[in-house]
Structure 1
Amino acid sequence: MKKILLAFVMLGAATSFAQNDKQAVQSMVDTFTSALEEREIFTYLTTTRYCDGNIQMIKMPNGRMCASKGTFYETYIFWQEEGKSYGKKIDNCGMFGSIELPDSEVYDYFTTHFEAIRSNPVKGYEIAQKETGPLQRTEINNCHKSFTLSNTDDTFSQKFNPFDLTNDAVEANIHYEYNQKLKIVHLDSLLDTAIKQIEGSANFIRI
């Protein structure tokens, strides 16, 4: 009897948790961007932020729990439709409703600087001379930001570690000044603001 009861408990636990990995997140992103293209929207930006090994558990609107399977990924999609700019979040636990943004700053910036962003990626943290042994890294080194920019003619991707934009190691980063001037770094700053607008919206609801 105890074994039967335990089986039911384990079954209930399995059905009350949804576990999605990176592939599941990417599948949802692909589904949504394909829907954009079906509406003849070919210019859009996706950015994914994650820290290796960061696992999160989230209570869903239906009361079930969702635990990320491995690393928790947060992807944001930005596009423009009928003259309005929108943003959307997708993570391991599903999609949120699309949010109309208060301005078109992100869209205008990445479309204007599309080629400059493609041609000038962030350079990794590098020191002039190694004097104190291996480069000392902080926890932020486990975090990453990736970007995919698409328009009617082309699509490209870039990725960097936020640590590469700092001077936080014992020896100075010789690429610090260079990286700070990059269009993708300024775009990332604009995205930070837009993401706060999305997540602060009253319409920011899981669907």
Structure 2
Amino acid sequence: MKKNIIVLVFLFVSYIGKTQYIPNDNLDKLVSNFTKELIEKKIDTICIYESYSVGSEITFDISELNEREKQELCRDELINQPVFVFWKEKGKTFLNKINSCFEYSAIEILEDELWKIYFENTNAIEKEKVKNFEYESFINGKKISSPIFRDHSYHQNFKFIVNNKIVEKYFDNFKLQNETDNFKDKRLYNINYNHNTNLKSKKIIDILENDIRNIKRNQYLIMKKR
């Protein structure tokens, strides 16, 4: 058991390190330690989710916050978006938010669609690949497809750790767009739009994002300051 824990933690550390918005490994360690604690409690169904935009920073008007919100404000989240960990324990689903400022208590998620979709489509999700944004054009009478990329895009990633098996997917939101009209003043259509948006792993991303958005700020009860 201990050997499996070490392997999983080692693999997990490399996950958050792939993101470009984290300036140091502090968040990596926090998420890795939290995941290790779950595994040591013999919890074998875990999902880690992160969303972020490379090269951007969140702004807000502090005057619009109440006193409690000001006290619980984590300024580190303006640059480093928190990581969310879901897990299943004794038939219930829980969620926790991890940032560099506070340690929070777990929140129970009543809807259990996440695991249902995942376990019913595990094999398909493992094999799925997100295709690039590609458009078609004609050169010398021949139709060709060409990819285009966007440097500063919104990203969503998930990682499942189930019974020592790891499955992870990375989504660049630009690849999920149907069209773009700011590429050399042309409107281009993504020929991979239907493929990408109908992936089972995209359904997982939508569920994770929806679960997080449905949690109100005051539901994250602070246990202690880091």
When normalised by structure 1's length, the TM-score is 0.75
CA distance in 2, matches of 1:122, 1:38: 33
Higher strand share: 2
Aligned length: 184
TM-score, normalization by structure 2: 0.69
Query: What SS class does the counterpart of residue 174 from structure 1 fall into?
Result: coil
Which residue number corresponds to residue 5 of structure 1?
Answer: none
Retained in 1: the 8 A contact 2:51–2:157?
yes
Look up the match of 1:189: 206
- C-alpha displacement at 1:29, in angstroms? 1.0
1:202 Cα offset (Å): 4.8
State the match for 1:162 in structure 2.
173
The equivalent residue for 1:4 is none
Do the aligned residues in 2 keep the contact of 1:48 with 1:75 (CA within 8 Å)? yes
Pick one of 76, 94, 98 that aligns with 1:90.
98
Once the 2 structures are TM-superposed, how far is the Cα of residue 114 of structure 1 from its aligned partner? 2.2
Consecutive unaligned residues in structure 1, runs of 5 or more: 1-19
Q: Distance in 2 between matches of 1:182 and 1:119?
A: 10
2:87 is matched with 79
Output the CA distance in 2 between the equivalents of 1:128 and 1:33.
Answer: 44
- Identify unmatched segments of 5+ residues in structure 2: 1-21, 140-145, 181-186
State the partner residue of 1:6. none
Give the residue type in structure 2 aligned to 1:162: N
SS of match in other structure, 2:137:
coil
**Stretch of structure 1 that moved more, 121-130 or 99-108:** 121-130
Structure 1's 102 and 80: CA in aligned 2 closer, same or farther, altered over 3 A?
Answer: same
User: 1:73 offset after TM fit, Å?
Assistant: 2.2
Q: Distance in 1 between matches of 2:159 and 2:55?
A: 23
1:104 aligns with 2:112: yes
RMSD between aligned residues: 3.2
Whether contact under 8 Å (1:47, 1:77) holds in the other structure is yes
Structure 1 residue 122, shift from structure 2 partner: 1.6
Residue 204 of structure 1 is matched in structure 2 by 220
Q: Secondary structure at the match of 1:158?
A: strand
Percent identity between matched residues is 23
